[in-house]
Structures are given as C-alpha cells and as structure tokens.
Structure 1
Amino acid sequence: MTTALIYAIHRTHDWWTHVGANLGFDKVTVLTDRRDQGDASITDDYYAAYRRRYAARDVASSLLTEAEVKDVVARCRVLRWLPARKASAMALAMADAMHIQLEAIRPDFVISFPIDNYNQDVLARLARKRALPYFEVTASALPGMCMLMHRGKLITARAEPDAAAVEARIHEIADPLFTPAYVQGQAAYTPLRFLKTLGYFRIRAAFFQLYAWARQDRLNTHYLDAQPWLGHKAKWSDARITGMVESDWEAKVEAFPKEKRVLYGLQLFPEAAIDYWIDDLDLVRHEDMLVEIARRMTAAGYQIIVKDHPLQFGFRQT
C-alpha cells in the first residue's frame, strides 16, 4: 500500500484533497497548519513545542542541528526578521510538529507546492532524513500544464517529449505578446494601481494580525508573511518605480553609448522559493547587492536597463 502526505498551504486543502484522490495512491493525508482544515493539522503540536523550546532557549534538537536551525531561519523571509531566540524556537517547534505527523502517517511520498517558507523547508529536511521522495508541484507559465520540481531542480519524466510539441511551446513563449497562463488580463502598471494594490495589502495585513489573535494562531506563517514590517515588503515610497517604466526604452537605450549599458534581467522576485534553490547563503542577499551595484554604476555614468522575467510579464502589482 502506498501512502502520500500532502502539505497544503492556506486555503488549498480542498483542492489538494481532490488532486490527491486522483493521484493513484492507496491513501492520502492532507496536512495543514490550520486547526479546522485538512485531514490533520500541526497547529496544536506546534504551539506546545514552541512554548517548550522558547522557555528552554533551545537552539538545536535531535531533529535539527544548530547549523540546520540557522540555515532554516536564514532562508525564510519571515523568520529572518524575528529575534533569534523566537525564530529558533519556531523552527524547532515546526520540526517537532512535523515529526509527530510523519510518525503517525508513515508516508511513502511527500508532496506540496514549492518550498517557500520554513514549514515546508523543515518538512522536506525531515523527509530527506527518512529517504522519502519530496515532490513540489507548481503551475506552468503555459496553459494546461504544471511542473514537478525539488528546490528549483526540475523533475523530468523518463520518456523524451515530442520534438514538435517542444518547438511549439518555444514559439509560444517567444511571442512578444506572451503572458503567463496565471496572469488575469492586461493592466497598466501605474502609480494608482500600485497604491490601490499596496493599500489593499496593508488592510489585509491588519486584518490578519487581528484574525491571528482571535484564532489563537499568532505565529501562523500565512498571517506573519502578510505583515508590512518584513524587510522585503513594498513601501509607499516605492510607488516611484512606476515612473521608471519606459515605453520608448529602445530609443533611450540607443541614445546611450553601448559600452556604458548594463542589462539587469530580473528573477521571479518576490518569489520566496528562490531562497531555497541556492546553496550559498550569501546569495540570499543578492537583491540588496544588485541594488548597491546599480547605484555605484549609475554614479559612475553607466545606464542600467532593467528587464522583467518573462514569467512575470503583466503579473507584478507592487
């Protein structure tokens, strides 16, 4: 009998229940971090462990070494902004809670969306120690398709794809008017759109903060990740970036000396999953370093041309 554990993030448990029922496993358990969602929840075990770990000032356990805890904290865009004692206790508590579920479910496979927070990161680390395959599922930029990966590395099928189908997909992406399948309509990237979007997310953050207290779930990753005090979140002053979108960019580039042009090709920022794809932790700061390099180069007379990632065309809002 084959058993799968599916870790479902906020408001995806029903979708995963449907998908899991059609994957061909004998048994599927949908695990969440909400008390009232999925087949099982880590929440109560997590808070019990957190109180214990925080009181003891633990920095390691039998499940995670001190070095692993530091690595978990450094890669998570929520934990890295918290006090070290609190962040360490949260990482260790997550390991305790996930361990309880792995012991109870005894899965043969673990499945989730791409790892982009410490919940999934810790689960993947524990799965690896048990030699369990971990599959990350994500939407494809192409309609009607998805991708399987693990920490940024594509999981491929044994069978070679049809060459004609591959060529057709390449032409589809290379089309100048291409937009990813998950982009809903075309909207101009304007200061008003920026401010309306940021205003919505600020109201959403305030609601989540109150909601988390009401649910006695104030450390829930989904609610914490919405808070504007996180260093990677957009600020009101960032609205000025909309004025840097140049419709006549080709003419402006051509008017500048070629030897003084520098192209910046953007990544999928703010895709937090990328922090789990790299080996060198110093690269987690690469966004800050790119900004600093751009400042110095413009001061030295260079022109910086910023080109968005093809999978983000029409998708960015802040």
Structure 2
Amino acid sequence: MSGVILSYVRPWNVEQFTFLASQMSPGNRVVRASEHPKIDEAGISRRYYLNLKRCAQENDGVPSGLLPDQVADVIARCRLLRRLPRGEAQRHVWAMAQAVEETLDQLAPALIISLTIDSYVMDLLRILAGVRGIRFVAFISTFVNGCFRISARGEPNVFGPADAALVDELRDKLLKEDYAPAFNSKSLSNPRKSVYRRWAANLARVPWFWMKRVTSGDYYNYHYWVSQQLSLEQLHWLPPADPGDESWLGKLKASSRPSIFIPLQMFPECTVDYWCQDVRVIDYYAVLDKLLDKLSSRFNVVIKEHPSVMGSRPTGFYSRLAKDPRVTVVPTYTPSNLVLKEADAVLVWTGSVGFESILRGKPVFGLAKPFYASGERFMTIDMEPDLDAMAEHIAHCQANPISVDEQNAILGHLASQLLRGDFINFGAWTADNPEHRAQIEGVVASYLSVRPISAG
C-alpha cells in the first residue's frame, strides 16, 4: 500500500494517534483529520464552515452520499445533534458530510485510523469511507486489562479461534473477586476526592466552554458545543451525596421477590449511543424510568451508580433516586461482585457487568446485544419486557448452575475478539516516553498480525 493514511485526532491525543498511524504502514504519509482547526491538516474544519454558509444560502439540508435513514441514525446517536431542532441538526450533518466527502475525494486515503465512534463527525467518516471502500480502523480499550479491540461502533470483530492460553488467563483474571478494569483505578483509590474533582471541574466547564465557543472563532466546534450543553445539564451547586442506602443488603434479603440488579452506565457515552442496536433505548433516563415502572411490579429492583461516574448525572437525579420507592439503591463504592452474589439477575444496556454476571452463571437481560454476549444465560429484552419470560429465564438459570465448559465457551467468545496490547487513550501520551512508544508499537504489531495492511 502507498499513499495517505488519514488519522482522526483531537487535541489531547494528536501525538499518540499520529504516531500510531505512522506505525501502521511506515513510509506512507500521515494526514491528521479533525474538527479542531489548529490540528486539522485534511481541511475538514475549513470545508465544514464554508458548507454551513452554503447551506444557509441554498436552504439545502440533504447530505449527498447519505440515505435518509442514515441521516436519522446519525442525528439520533450523536449526543450533540439530537439536542438540536431537527432542521438545524440536518444542516450540520449536511455541512460536515460534504466536508468529509470533499476531503476523502481529494486525499483518497487507503486507510483511516480512529478511536471508536462517539460523535457524528467520526460516524460520517465511517459511513462515507465505507461507500468508497476505504478501511476504517477504530481502536478501543476493554475491561480486560492488557487487551484491546477493533470496533467502530461496538460491533464484534472475530479474529479467529480463541487462544486457549488467553482463555485461561481471562478465567484467572476475571473471576477474581477484587478484579477491576484499569480505567476505574483512580475512582476506586480515592472515591471522595474523585467526586469533588468531577463536581468542581463541571462547575468550571459551564463558563469555560461558553467562552471557548464565543472567543475561539470556532463557534460550532463539536467538543466545545456539546461540553457546554452537558455541563449545564449536570450542574450541581453543591457536591452530590451518594444516593445509596447502607441497609440495602438487609432489604434485599428480606424481600421474597426475585431481584434484578441494574448497574447504571455512563451517559451520554458511546457504549450506549453507538453500541445499542435500537436507537429508542439510548434515551437512557426516560427508558430507565419506564423500565422501573414495569419491573418493580414483579421484581425487587436494585440499582448502583458506577464509581467513575458518581457526580456526573443530570441535576436532581441522585436526590430523586434516593427517594424512589421502586428501587433499592446500593452505595456507589460497594464492590459490584458483592451485589452480583446477592442479586438473582442483572439488566444492562451494554455494560461490562453483564459479562461478569454471565461468567458467574447469572441470568442477564440486555436492551442490546453487546459484543461479549453469548450462551443461553443472556436474554435480549425490549422496553416493554415480558415479565413472565424474564421470571422463567431466572428460574432456568438458577436450576442449571454454570459448568466449566460453559464458562470456557463464554470466555472463548470474548477471547476471539481481543488482541493483546495496552491501548489507552490518554492525553499524557508522548513520543518522548519509550514506554509509551513501546505500548503503541505493541498494539500495532498485534493488529497487523491479524489484519495486515497489504490484505486491503
């Protein structure tokens, strides 16, 4: 392969992803693409603003190269666009889609490197690259420390039969009661400090991103715009209190009804926005409320906040949750494995607690089918679930304890999608650090061993 590798970057990972792209096929030219003008070598940002002016003049909001269903999906999944009036959202999709098309046609890249998709800009890159037969490779860290995945929108990608050695490693690692993904380590090490830090940072974000939009000359920058919106939605004048009830375990044991544990997921987040197959379920808080109404009539519903998210919810969410008679709320920093031991079943959108649960033989209900889901213990439900079917699923799983062979099959399904390597997307990465360079070199070597660039 010769020519251009297009690397989608943001200010905090520009050095890391430029280096990553350069290692994918040395000798080829790396061109950085971004909605941030200062680091956008491909010209996407400049073209986007020109197209916004054209769109306003021509009153043309239909993106060329996109089908109407694709436009609707792009808007519904983007945490920024779905908050805008429909016409305004379509205008921005049109302007950015035109910019991406013009860039791809000019550069004709043979490969696009990206993070997993979490915005409409990246989604349009994926869609329009696919139309042109350009390979779009998105890297993502996983809840398995030391392994990463390749996935644009959360979809499974199998790289061949599961490595038996990796299956054994996963068994030893993931069945430990104190196991935690690396990305949770800071919140778990000093939970109170983490909450205060997130709270203080969000207060500062409200004026900061308003000023960035107004003074930067980049008023419609995706990151500035959506950050301003979210910081306002999550504004707490005082640090929020943990909504958990210290007597949760006693209440759970005292109930005669089957219990369903709902671990709260970060939202908005790509694992909900882009990993859920049904766009209706990504209206997270409305769907959660609707499910609580339905499930609480038959089950004892148990909820726990994610330790890395505590403090980052809409204003008033925690106080309402603490008073909600439909649920039992577990203190945030209670280990999830302790809750799993006591609960009869688990319900997730796409969260990794679902995998921990099926691996331990628990019945799991999902509003989507995550990449890790396999075996008979996982059951997909919709927003109007059949409560009788759910109760039968719980009873069946309880009557049939999980076997070692079943665990190996579940682990094998996961292992077949994992690649060895420490891929971490973090702003402190620098090419001057030999350890950082070695990490990326290992990730690239691992990927190229299963998807060589010459394969097209």
TM-score (norm 2): 0.61
Q: 1:280 to 1:54 in 2, by over 3 A?
A: farther
Alpha-carbon distance in structure 2 between the residues aligned to 1:174 and 1:86 = 48
Q: Which residue of 2 aligns with 1:263?
A: 261
Q: State the shift of 1:8 in Å.
A: 1.2
Q: Which residue of 2 aligns with 1:129?
A: 131
Cα distance per residue 1:261-280 (max 9 Å; x no partner): 33324445432343223343
Contact 1:111–1:135 (Cα < 8 Å) also in 2: yes
Q: Which residue of 1 aligns with 2:353?
A: none
Q: 1:33 to 1:85 in 2, by over 3 A?
A: same
Aligned pair count reads: 308
Q: Which residue of 2 aligns with 1:294?
A: 292
Q: Which residue of 1 aligns with 2:50?
A: 48
Identity percentage over the alignment? 23
Q: Secondary structure at the match of 2:208?
A: helix
Matches within 5 A, 1:107-146: 107-146=109-148
Q: Secondary structure at the match of 2:113?
A: strand
Alpha-carbon distance in structure 2 between the residues aligned to 1:206 and 1:65 = 38
Q: Which residue of 2 aligns with 1:22?
A: 23
Alpha-carbon distance in structure 2 between the residues aligned to 1:40 and 1:184 = 37
Q: State the shift of 1:240 in Å.
A: 5.8
Q: 1:67 to 1:155 in 2, by over 3 A?
A: closer
Alpha-carbon distance in structure 1 between the residues aligned to 2:226 and 2:11 = 12
Contact 1:117–1:273 (Cα < 8 Å) also in 2: no
Q: Which residue of 2 aligns with 1:234?
A: 234
Q: Secondary structure at the match of 1:36?
A: helix
Q: State the shift of 1:79 in Å.
A: 0.6
Cα distance per residue 1:176-224 (max 9 Å; x no partner): 212211234324655x854552331231232122122222111111111
Q: Which residue of 2 aligns with 1:174?
A: 175
Q: Secondary structure at the match of 1:123?
A: helix
Q: Which residue of 2 aligns with 1:281?
A: 279
Q: Which residue of 1 aligns with 2:217?
A: 216
Contact 1:58–1:88 (Cα < 8 Å) also in 2: no
Q: Which residue of 2 aligns with 1:71?
A: 73
Alpha-carbon distance in structure 1 between the residues aligned to 2:77 and 2:104 = 23
Contact 1:152–1:274 (Cα < 8 Å) also in 2: no
Q: Which residue of 2 aligns with 1:304?
A: 301
Among 89, 95, 98, the residue aligned to 1:96: 98
Q: Secondary structure at the match of 1:153?
A: coil
* 164-173 or 261-270, larger mean C-alpha shift: 261-270
Q: State the shift of 1:286 in Å.
A: 4.9
Alpha-carbon distance in structure 2 between the residues aligned to 1:281 and 1:209 = 29
Contact 1:5–1:111 (Cα < 8 Å) also in 2: yes
Q: Which residue of 1 aligns with 2:250?
A: 251
* 280-289 or 99-108, larger mean C-alpha shift: 280-289
Q: Secondary structure at the match of 2:49?
A: helix
Q: Secondary structure at the match of 1:305?
A: strand
Unaligned residue ranges in structure 1 (runs of 5+): none
Q: 1:317 to 1:55 in 2, by over 3 A?
A: farther
Q: State the shift of 1:48 in Å.
A: 0.7
- Name the aligned partner's letter for residue 242 of structure 1: D
Q: Which residue of 2 aligns with 1:12?
A: 13
* 219-228 or 32-41, larger mean C-alpha shift: 32-41
Q: 1:131 to 1:28 in 2, by over 3 A?
A: same
Contact 2:7–2:33 (Cα < 8 Å) also in 1: yes
- Name the aligned partner's letter for residue 217 of structure 1: D
- Name the aligned partner's letter for residue 243 of structure 2: G
- Name the aligned partner's letter for residue 16 of structure 2: W
TM-score (norm 1): 0.85
Q: State the shift of 1:58 in Å.
A: 2.3
Among 305, 309, 315, the residue aligned to 1:316: 309
Cα distance per residue 1:215-245 (max 9 Å; x no partner): 21111111112124689x434399666122x
Cα distance per residue 1:246-271 (max 9 Å; x no partner): 45543331111234x33324445432
Q: 1:295 to 1:239 in 2, by over 3 A?
A: farther
Unaligned residue ranges in structure 2 (runs of 5+): 312-456
- Name the aligned partner's letter for residue 12 of structure 1: N
Q: Which residue of 1 aligns with 2:434?
A: none
Contact 1:64–1:92 (Cα < 8 Å) also in 2: no
Q: State the shift of 1:126 in Å.
A: 0.4
Could you say what the CA RMSD is over the residues aligned between the two structures, in angstroms? 2.8
